[in-house]
Amino acid sequence: MSDLSGKHGLIVGIANERSIAWAIAQAADRAGARLALTYVNERLEGNVRKLAETLTQPPLILPCDVSQDDQIAAVAAGLDREFGGLDLLVHGAAFAPREAITQPFLQTARGDFQIALDVSVYSLVALAQATAPLMARREGGSLLTLTYLGSERVFPNYNVMGVAKAALEASVRYLASELGPEQIRVNAISAGPIRTLAAAGISGFSDILSVYRERAPLRRNIEAGEVADAAMFLLSDAGRAVTGEVLLADGGYHAMGL
């Protein structure tokens, strides 16, 4: 049921080999999908191209700063030319200025707030606008984004990103409602803490990992590959009846009170 043979997918948000988006790309490649990968700037282009060389099917590689509408439009045009349509989209883009995470939420500057919401939330909407016609051409598709429990609970030094993730999850529900008639599903995975490039910017992240190991029902931290396995369910026909959902893959930590 997780076979993606003949499917075409777009993966946005790969920074390096530790990225959750990269783990999902690898799983989708193993499942038979032909992929397009994006990079946000020249500094990360080399990482993406090097990783792309390890995939079974050579992917289409495109630049995409998700804060720029013209670049998103160019990606959609490239997908149209190369694939003729689109079946899958994985949205792993998220960013907030360092000051907005290291300082108390009360001190969040207007500009930093706007950047965090633009890159981390509106980018999903913009990508959905650009790719929905390509998915409709295939009579349906699946959009998947990545969130975190900081959308519902206060985590130290997460601050404006928690607010952004809450908005992202609301966006998932609204997009699922509007795209559903086109048989386009929209879901999110709320993963437990994983040592990614983004996590490196969160002060005290090692303490968060320790708390999860102690209190999650599985008594361990999760791995990116486990999130990718959950993603395969939502991206494939196995999850064909699921939309507007936030699937928690965190070892059960979210279920605990203390």
pLDDT in tens, 136-170: 999 999 999 999 999 999 998 899 999 999 999 99
* Enzyme catalytic residues: 148, 158
Instruction: Return the pLDDT at 200.
Output: 63
- Mean pLDDT over each residue of the chain, to the nearest integer: 94
pLDDT at 60 over 70: yes
Fold of 8-253: Rossmann fold (3.40.50)
Instruction: Return the pLDDT at 169.
Output: 98
Residue pair 171/117 in contact by the 8 Å Cβ criterion: no
Cα distances (Å, whole numbers) of residue 102 to 98, 193, 195: 6, 18, 18
Average pLDDT over residues 1-26: 93
Average pLDDT over residues 55-78: 97
**Which three-class secondary structure string do you get for the chain?**
CCCCCCCEEEEECCCCCCCHHHHHHHHHHHCCCEEEEEECCHHHHHHHHHHHCCCCCCCEEEECCCCCHHHHHHHHHHHHHHHCCCCEEEECCCCCCHHHHHCCHHHCCHHHHHHHHHHHHHHHHHHHHHHHHHHHCCCCEEEEEEECHHHCCCCCCCCHHHHHHHHHHHHHHHHHHHHHHHCEEEEEEEECCCCCCCHHHCCCHHHHHHHHHHHCCCCCCCCHHHHHHHHHHHHCHHHCCCCCCEEEECCCHHHCCC
Instruction: Return the pLDDT at 201.
Output: 66
d(CA 144, CA 24): 10
Instruction: Return the pLDDT at 167.
Output: 98
Tokens of 97: 């200025």
pLDDT in tens, 172-220: 999 999 999 999 999 999 998 887 767 666 767 788 889 999 999 999 9
d(CA 112, CA 153): 21
pLDDT in tens, 43-52: 999 999 999 9
Instruction: Return the pLDDT at 194.
Output: 86
pLDDT at 230 over 60: yes
Single pTM value for the model: 0.94
Residues paired with residue 39 on neighbouring β-strands, in sequence order: 63
% of the chain exceeding 70 in pLDDT: 97
